[in-house]
Structure 1
Amino acid sequence: MQGLMQHGALTLDKIIDHAAQWHGGREVVTRSVEGPIVRTTYREIHDRAKRVSNLLLALGIKPGDRVGTLAWNTGRHIETWYGIMGIGAVCHTLNPRLFPEQIAWIADHGGDKVIFTDLTFLPIIAGIIPRLPNVEHVIVFTDRDHMPENFQLAGEAPHFKGLLCYEDLIAEQSADCVWGGFDEGTAAGLCYTSGTTGDPKGVMYSHRSNFLHTFITMQPDVMGLSQRDVILPVVPMFHANAWGVAFSAPATGAKIVMPGARMDGAAIHELLETEGVTFSAAVPTVWQMLLQHLESTNGTISTLKKVVIGGAACPETIIRAFQEKYGVEVVHAWGMTETSPVGTLSTMTDALEKLPYDQQMPYRLKQGRPPMGVELKLTDDDGKALPHDGKAFGHLKIRGPIIAAEYFRGAGGKILDEDGFFDTGDVATIDEMGFMQITDRAKDVVKSGGEWISTIEIENIAVGHPKAALAAVIGVPHPKWDERPILLVKLKEGETATKEEFLDFLQGKIAKWWMPDDVVFVDEIPLGATGKIDKKVIRQRMKDYVLPTAVAAAGAATLAAADGAAAPVLYAPEPASEEIGEPDEPVEEVAAEAEPVLEPAHEPEVVAARILASEAVATEAAEAEVSEPEPASEPVTAEALAASLPDPEPVAQAVAQDPEDVFPHAPLVEPDAKPLAPTPEAAFDAPPVFVAEEAPLAMPIQPGRKAKAAKPDKAASGGKGDWASPILLVAVLVAALPAVLIVGAALGARFGGLDKAIAYDLLTRDLAPRIAWLSLGTDVLALIVAMIGGIGRHWKRAVLALGMTAATLGVLLVATSLGGRAAPVGDVATDWKAPLAFSEAVMNARGEAAAPVLDDPSLPVGSELFAGRRVAEVNAETCPAARTLVLERSPADAYEAAKTAVQAKGLKLVTDDPIDGRLEAGGESFWFGMRDDLVIRVRPDTAGARVDIRSVARDAGGDLGRNCGRVSGILKVIGG
């Protein structure tokens, strides 16, 4: 039995609708990219978002199309989000801190058709547009006075139609636009992972998942937001939807303050104080800058009550500074792009709140407990569950309605285990109170003597040393223990230190066998695009490093080092090419969240140079693979390695990695590349994207053997030769040709050799009937020839040709009579007032090239019987049996009857949800392999149960009544 409550799709347009209606006057404040503080309201955001929707519709954007945004946190960005999502399009947030090659790769793989951007990022746009053949329009978030005068691309892009001014376009559009009306499983947002291991992978959020995530973030033990809050989301909107704040703030009616491009300590402090901010969220590096600014200026915090810190492990020094100096509560959080992103938060329980603050600290440093809607588990390498005792290290897995089920376009294959849990790639513990603690990424954990050592825990302690600015721990090979940890330290400016100082600092704080075997002082610790330490780069730089203890264990000479001297610098940033250029400051001096001014590496010429450099690197790598192997060298000592390395030089984040590390599969630009043609949709589904694949296999059509022509019977024809036989043979072949075309087309479509447009529309529905009518004339000619040439000898061939033509025309006429009144679109529904929608799984299976599933489709002009009419009206004429079925039986019984009917028809079940009363299935025609998708919804009714069905063909065009027959047949079976 099902409940008798109203059903409303959880679509994100309802969030901004709610904000506009009930919190319309609440402010949205932005530090604009142009400079001034700009104030607007949720009511105005709602109005302008609808104008964005009409703008996108005018540009040809349809439901399911991806629209890119390369922008800071601003009010305009929020307007665009809701304008995109409101019409069923997908908002694809692009991360400007990635390499230009990565941004181009991601935008192309995502299939973006339009990009919205800020003035700041026009140099990036200039460099990547030649790599984005599907992007014709770039809309700049600014007004006419600030539009650039001389915008030039870094390469040829004949498809690109130029920059458009956002404010001009918005002013031209109407604010009258219908939002929503689609299934809550519809895709809403697309966000790519950073791609530190292999290609970036797209996470496709649905309206439902983001709506549920909004409810989760509003829980008191999560973010606990309310209408009384003033929220400053420092975390960018291109980092997993600003951790959901762009949805939860308008949902609660909270005032929201958008920091724009300036996110340094002084700028953040100014907004905190002038706007009365009570809640904020960012990664640790932002808060380090703020605390340093407050310390240097003796600043105060007057209204801020809570900050959520995630993205990287939060050091104890930050938590204590906020609480003890400024009275601000820190909530340590963990999540991923794949988790929407909230996963766990270190909100104190009632029992912990009663403890002294120092005793709470071990729990505040952990990543915390999962909120309602999120499930966690730990497993060993074999997938067996581990205890929650705070000691067992295991693979952290997560499940819930806000967790990714698969990556966009199937990247990475299956990502869930047999129980539906997603492996986060983190190694963690969970204690008896349910607090989870990340001890490492699975790829970063140090395995020493078969035991795991947490690099994150050592780093968090080491960075608390008063001389340390940043610290990182990696594992390096050891002949006895497999791996041992080493500590890399970047000292604060002007400080000097020794290895022993840091080892002494760690004494008593970690297990003895966790103690690093060496401490290396470096000038730079690289950060990735999301502000995390990039250990992949560190490992690459340290690949030839040899531990002093490893040398001793291997029986080599002990390395000598001067007393009190810093350890030799054994790694350095990779030298940048002259084309790319180098900025003056090392990357760690620029916080991950603060990048108001572009580095020189983002100039258009430099972007183009980087793309070409990636080709050269890939070419060199390919040559290296086929070259003769070099003889193994002797073990390298630390002194020898240090002497061989160039002096370390600071390098910008934009060139902190080698392009080949980012995209190991192939160069992004081919030599002497011509302007690109639009990338076909099919190419997006072929991993890896830029590697040519073999042609798809297809089963060839095997023609039948031709009958041997009868030899001329010269004796019977008086010795003049049988001139009539060749003519009659041609007549027979012409008569047989329509059937050959139809059978060949059916087999070709069935086994993948021909697509539907050729097999069904061209050969079967067009050429075959034309040739059949033509053969009627050749048959009459054959009869005349047979009578002249000797009816006794030739009547069989003449009658065979005529009979084959008659049979073919008869079949075609029957098919036409059966399907002649069928609408030339394969979409049949029992209820067009509220047509059923399909789940995200079905829509993904249909693919981009499939016929669209619309709420109120009309037939195209050109249909002889139904041109321009609504499909709902035509369905009533052509398929009168397709009506809502009301049964005097329980919904549970009706559901089982519907399921039985679907299975009896040989359809493949996709969704079987008796609680929601929803069945989804797929069907395929035998001959042409044409596929249809079916959805059935059983709901309670005053009479008992109500059954609605919708069946939609994946191929555009008519279906000769196929879907009508399926719907009618299933309804008949259900009704008994």
Structure 2
Amino acid sequence: MIQSTMQEGALTISSLLEHSRKFFPEATVSTWTGSGLRTESFSEIGDNAAQVANALAKLGIGIGDRVATFMWNNNEHQALYAAIPSMGAVLHTLNLRLSPEQAVFIMNHAEDKVVFVDASVAPLLQNYVPQVPSVTDVVVVNGPADAFSAPEGVTVRAWDDLLEGESTEYDWPELDEHAAAAMCYTSGTTGDPKGVVYSHRSIYLHSFQVISTAGMALANSDLALVIVPMFHAMSWGMPYAAMMAGASLLHPDRFLQPEPLLAMMKEARPTMAAAVPTIWSGVAALLESHPQDISHLRSVTVGGSAVPPSMVRKFDEFNAPIVHAWGMTETSPLGSVAHPPADVTDPEEAFPFRITQGRFPAAVAARIVDSDGNVLPNDGVTSGELEVSGPWITGSYYSPEGNVSDPSKFHDGWLRTGDVSTISPQGYMTIVDRTKDIIKTGGEWISSVDLENVIAGHPEILECTVIGVPDPKWDERPFVLAVTTEGSTLDVPTMRAWLEERVPRWQVPERWSFGEEVPKTSVGKFDKKKVRQAYADGLYEVINGLEL
């Protein structure tokens, strides 16, 4: 077999770090302070990363050791994204919004040694660290060391004290590109959270997809508002992709409400942004009452859950087009992106493509299968469970005793996503529902996602979720938990009549409840598990409409 003449070269985070540091002096990383921006160049971020690595080495952190972050999106977190994997340690991003039980489980499971924590959330971390014997050091960021009260045996330092006197150069080790670079745990909506470990190679290849025009098209000319948390699926890969492309980043820190988000947009005028749908529904509602030009956003990437078509229409009116994407913690996370075909230029003809979950990149293989594992056709009609595989798709879950390929999640080398989907002949994937969320009523199936999208299209509905609840006659029926706009007098008969014009009558829900908010998971998705439990416990004031 003939061999290539190409040179070898490991795909590592340190090469991305040095690339951004040396060749993109114009690129910046900024953090919103609540009243303005604090900005550093990629060169300065690189200097801080080297200082962090030198300091961690003195604390005894070596190859493979886990270093955790309990932080918002900010400049310091960006430096840690660069430093920790580049020195051969493993970056472990801790979700700020997990339950105490889950947070302690994750830290012990990962065996974290050092934890970096933002001062604003240090009191929360104080409840966890005494239960994690592997932690030896805590570093407080954006605040004094005394923001964290350390248990016996744990040393606490402030960020500035840690970096003081450290060299801005570090001799990054030559690493195996397949070695662990970062780890992130699933949100654990069923059972304990599961660890996904990304390699240097997988992150590097995934970064190519983020900057690809078939992906998020993050470019050197962009200023990206990164709202999606850095503790959730590596912030959709944007911190690393920015290093590759030389794109500038705008981090919101803890200011994630619509008012400050619009304030930072007005100040910095980012060219693209990324967040889950619940963030954008809040922004849209505020824009309705307080108009502001956001047309500087050439692209608004939305993922995490299905985007209602009404939201896509609304942002088109704002001249800030939504680009729908799909992915999971297990997929690094980009799995598909909804760009219309090149030959479809009419906006109305393009719209049906934009509200799918999109097409898969070359590195992601995808198929749909039935309950017996048989591969189903890509005809746009037949639905089955979506399975994916590829170089940035996990093949197992992390375990200190040896990684686990759970057959309920992995099938013949494919990741079982749990999403019931169709794939069209043109390659566009549409999620019908989660396997656990689809509603079986009288022998027929109702997609909770489809119902949610239709209901969310009503002008007086701010947000809603749909679950299946027990019914003595039909086995299950849909229940709607909805939040209405301020001053709305919307009632169930009106909503049922409105829905009857848009969905088959047998799908129209009888059971409704109106509340102040829909419970959300730690990553901003609607928490259907909590809604089901609250319904079962009788915590909702259920309004019954006309029976079928």
- Correspondent of 1:310 among 303, 314, 333: 303
The 3-state SS of whatever aligns with 1:408 is coil
The 3-state SS of whatever aligns with 1:371 is coil
- Correspondent of 1:231 among 218, 224, 227: 224
The 3-state SS of whatever aligns with 2:451 is helix
- Correspondent of 2:144 among 144, 147, 161: 147
Find the counterpart in structure 2 of residue 852 from structure 1.
none
Residues 539-574 of structure 1 show CA distances to partners (whole Å, capped at 9, x for unaligned) of 1122267xxxxxxxxxxxxxxxxxxxxxx8149xxx
Residues 891-938 of structure 1 show CA distances to partners (whole Å, capped at 9, x for unaligned) of xxxxxxxxxxxxxxxxxxxxxxxxxxxxxxxxxxxxxxxxxxxxxxxx
- Correspondent of 1:341 among 330, 333, 336: 333
Find the counterpart in structure 1 of residue 364 from structure 2.
374
Kept in 1, the 8 Å contact 2:122–2:147? The answer is no
Kept in 2, the 8 Å contact 1:406–1:415? The answer is no
Instruction: Give the number of the structure whose alpha-carbon radius of gyration is greater.
Output: 1
The 3-state SS of whatever aligns with 1:216 is helix
**Residue 456 (structure 1) aligned with residue 453 (structure 2):** no
Kept in 2, the 8 Å contact 1:133–1:159? The answer is no
Find the counterpart in structure 2 of residue 13 from structure 1.
14
One-letter code aligned to 1:361: F
CA distance in 2 between partners of 1:422 and 1:151 (Å) = 40
**Residue 160 (structure 1) aligned with residue 161 (structure 2):** no
Residues 233-274 of structure 1 show CA distances to partners (whole Å, capped at 9, x for unaligned) of 111111111100001112111111111111222322232232
One-letter code aligned to 2:331: T
User: Structure 1 residue 448: deviation in Å?
Assistant: 2.5
Kept in 2, the 8 Å contact 1:205–1:340? The answer is yes
One-letter code aligned to 1:369: R
Kept in 2, the 8 Å contact 1:406–1:414? The answer is no
CA distance in 1 between partners of 2:83 and 2:273 (Å) = 25
**Residue 569 (structure 1) aligned with residue 520 (structure 2):** no
1:698-737 map, 5 Å: none
Kept in 1, the 8 Å contact 2:423–2:430? The answer is yes
Find the counterpart in structure 2 of residue 122 from structure 1.
122
Find the counterpart in structure 1 of residue 320 from structure 2.
328
CA distance in 1 between partners of 2:39 and 2:383 (Å) = 49
CA distance in 2 between partners of 1:343 and 1:52 (Å) = 32
Kept in 2, the 8 Å contact 1:52–1:80? The answer is yes
One-letter code aligned to 1:349: P
User: Structure 1 residue 14: deviation in Å?
Assistant: 0.8
Kept in 1, the 8 Å contact 2:74–2:252? The answer is yes
**1:299/1:206 CA distance change after superposition, 3 Å:** same
Kept in 2, the 8 Å contact 1:67–1:92? The answer is yes
Kept in 2, the 8 Å contact 1:334–1:342? The answer is yes
One-letter code aligned to 2:287: L
Unaligned runs of 5+ in 1: 546-567, 572-637, 640-976
- Correspondent of 1:388 among 378, 390, 404: 378
CA distance in 1 between partners of 2:436 and 2:186 (Å) = 16
Q: Percent of aligned pairs with the same residue?
A: 39
One-letter code aligned to 1:497: L
User: Structure 1 residue 59: deviation in Å?
Assistant: 0.5
**1:470/1:416 CA distance change after superposition, 3 Å:** closer
User: Structure 1 residue 346: deviation in Å?
Assistant: 0.9
1:396-545 map, 5 Å: 396-409=386-399, 410=403, 413-414=406-407, 417-543=410-536
Find the counterpart in structure 1 of residue 197 from structure 2.
204
One-letter code aligned to 1:94: L
User: Structure 1 residue 31: deviation in Å?
Assistant: 1.8
Find the counterpart in structure 1 of residue 75 from structure 2.
75
**1:140/1:148 CA distance change after superposition, 3 Å:** closer
CA distance in 2 between partners of 1:385 and 1:488 (Å) = 36
One-letter code aligned to 2:380: G
User: Structure 1 residue 328: deviation in Å?
Assistant: 1.7
One-letter code aligned to 2:128: I
The 3-state SS of whatever aligns with 1:471 is strand
1:177-188 map, 5 Å: 177-188=170-181
Find the counterpart in structure 2 of residue 89 from structure 1.
89
CA distance in 2 between partners of 1:270 and 1:345 (Å) = 28
Residues 358-386 of structure 1 show CA distances to partners (whole Å, capped at 9, x for unaligned) of 33322222111111211111111111112
**1:544/1:119 CA distance change after superposition, 3 Å:** closer
The size of the alignment, in residue pairs, is: 540
Residues 812-840 of structure 1 show CA distances to partners (whole Å, capped at 9, x for unaligned) of xxxxxxxxxxxxxxxxxxxxxxxxxxxxx
Find the counterpart in structure 2 of residue 22 from structure 1.
23
CA distance in 2 between partners of 1:150 and 1:308 (Å) = 35
User: Structure 1 residue 312: deviation in Å?
Assistant: 1.6
Kept in 2, the 8 Å contact 1:32–1:260? The answer is yes
Kept in 1, the 8 Å contact 2:512–2:542? The answer is no
The 3-state SS of whatever aligns with 2:127 is helix
CA distance in 1 between partners of 2:268 and 2:199 (Å) = 33
User: Structure 1 residue 70: deviation in Å?
Assistant: 0.6
CA distance in 1 between partners of 2:429 and 2:244 (Å) = 29
One-letter code aligned to 1:37: L
Cα RMSD (Å): 2.1
Find the counterpart in structure 2 of residue 252 from structure 1.
245
**Residue 358 (structure 1) aligned with residue 351 (structure 2):** no
CA distance in 1 between partners of 2:533 and 2:451 (Å) = 21
**1:544/1:147 CA distance change after superposition, 3 Å:** closer
Unaligned runs of 5+ in 2: none
CA distance in 1 between partners of 2:157 and 2:165 (Å) = 13
User: Structure 1 residue 65: deviation in Å?
Assistant: 0.6
The 3-state SS of whatever aligns with 1:112 is coil
Find the counterpart in structure 2 of residue 272 from structure 1.
265
1:129-144 map, 5 Å: 129-142=129-142
Find the counterpart in structure 2 of residue 291 from structure 1.
284
User: Structure 1 residue 319: deviation in Å?
Assistant: 1.2
One-letter code aligned to 2:154: F
- Which structure shows the bigger proportion of residues in helix conformation? 1
User: Structure 1 residue 400: deviation in Å?
Assistant: 0.6
One-letter code aligned to 1:115: V
One-letter code aligned to 1:422: L
Find the counterpart in structure 2 of residue 761 from structure 1.
none
Kept in 2, the 8 Å contact 1:32–1:74? The answer is no
CA distance in 2 between partners of 1:201 and 1:379 (Å) = 24
One-letter code aligned to 2:79: E
Residues 187-236 of structure 1 show CA distances to partners (whole Å, capped at 9, x for unaligned) of 00110000000000000000000001001111102111221111111111
One-letter code aligned to 2:152: P
- Which structure shows the bigger proportion of residues in strand conformation? 2
